[in-house]
Each structure stands twice: as C-alpha cells, then as structure tokens.
Amino acid sequence: MKHIVVLSGAGISAESGIKTFRDADGLWEGHDVMEVASPQGFRVNPELVLDFYNQRRKQLLSVKPNQAHIDLARLETNFKVTIITQNVDDLHERAGSSNVIHLHGELLKARSTFDENTIVDWKTDIHFGDMCQNGYQMRPHIVWFGEAVPMIEKAMDVCETADILMIIGTSMQVYPAASLMHYVPENIPTYFIDPKPAIEGKNKLTVISKPATAGVREAIKMIENL
C-alpha cells in the first residue's frame, strides 16, 4: 500500500466551527499569546491560562468532524495513511483516522507540571488545585511557545517514508512544523489545499485553492487516478 502523509492545520478544523482564535492583531481571544500559551504566562496567572483552555475544550466538545476529516479516514481503506497535525483537537480521531501524530499536544488530555510524561485523558475543566499523583498542579497537554515539540522527530521519520504528501489548511510558515515538507522524498506527488495558498515551487506540486472539505475530495480523486 502506498503511504500518504497528511500535514494538517487550523484550516481543516475551521470548517467544523473551531475558532483558530488568533486574530489579525495577533491576540488570542483578546489575550496576548504569551499570556495564555507560554510557561511564563502559566507561572504568572495559572487560573487565566486554565480558563482559556477550558473554554477551548468546551468548544471542541460541541463540534463534529467535517467531510474533510471523514474523507481522510476513508483513505485508510486503500492506503497507509499517517496524519501529522498541528491541531490540538481530536476531530481526525473522531472521524476514524487511526494513525494521528499531534505536534502541538492534545486539548482532551492533561499532564503534570512535575513530570511531563504523566499524561491523562481529561474532558472536563482543569481547575487550579487539580493535582497529579505526586501533588503537583495539572496543566493542559499543549506545547506552548518556547517549549520543545516532542513529536517532531517521529514526524520527520514518518515524512521520509511518504509516497504522497497532502498539506491541508496550514500556511507551512510556523516552525518546526514548516520544516517537515523538506523531509519527504524528492519528486513525490504533493497536494497543497488552502483557500489562500502560499508555498514555494516544488516538483509534482498540485495547488488546490479551496477550503478543506472541497479540496480534500478533489485531491483524493487525483490520487486514486495516479
């Protein structure tokens, strides 16, 4: 089976109703990004940070996967598929995708501030005072600005085995995620799906200037005819 590697970003989840919550002025829901998405911000005002992610979690639980998520899951019938996502939602999994790598963490998990490997499923609010088994505050299992991206090396290894690359709903401007497309073998078919595509010239590149739901379906038709 050919191996399709999918790099997905906020654009695929936006059609499910998930806010990207980064405004044009760089504020996230009215907050400076460093207030709510950095270790420093968490130290200064943990209640604010916990509330910010509690609201994101509630929103996530109110939405459903869209057709793009579902179509990607169905690809597993005839292809090996690995999804490497910058998204912290679980919409790929809910749609049925079985092999998903989350670069930036997962909103429906929490982890200990003492041991980053103590990770638990968490679908309700995280409160100040919720402790791990060692007595340390729990925090969202999210990769904040300034923190290492623990799954990046695994993602690089996966990209090296790709036969086909599909990039959906991401500008590929944010590192280290943006570097991943440089790890795929040269000259493999690449499909870039985004309403406002911005990508450097690449051999065998097909740009589909559409939202994810329409663009993924178009790309899959092309792939099935390869």
Task: Give the whole-angstrom CA distance, residue 85 versus residue 124.
Answer: 23
Q: Give catalytic residues, as residue numbers.
A: 104
Residue type, 162: A
Task: Give the whole-angstrom CA distance, residue 191 versus residue 50.
Answer: 37
DSSP-assigned states of every residue in the chain: --EEEEEE-HHHHHTTT----B-TTS-BTTB-HHHHSSHHHHHH-HHHHHHHHHHHHHHHHT----HHHHHHHHGGGTSEEEEEES--S-HHHHHT-S-EEETTEEEEEEEESS-TT-EEE--SPPPTT-B-TTS-BEEEEE--TTS--TTHHHHHHHHTT-SEEEEES--S-STTGGGGGGGSPTT--EEEE-SS------TTEEEE-S-HHHHHHHHHHHHHT-
Strand order in the sheet with 100-102: 100-102, 80-85, 3-8, 164-168, 190-193, 205-208
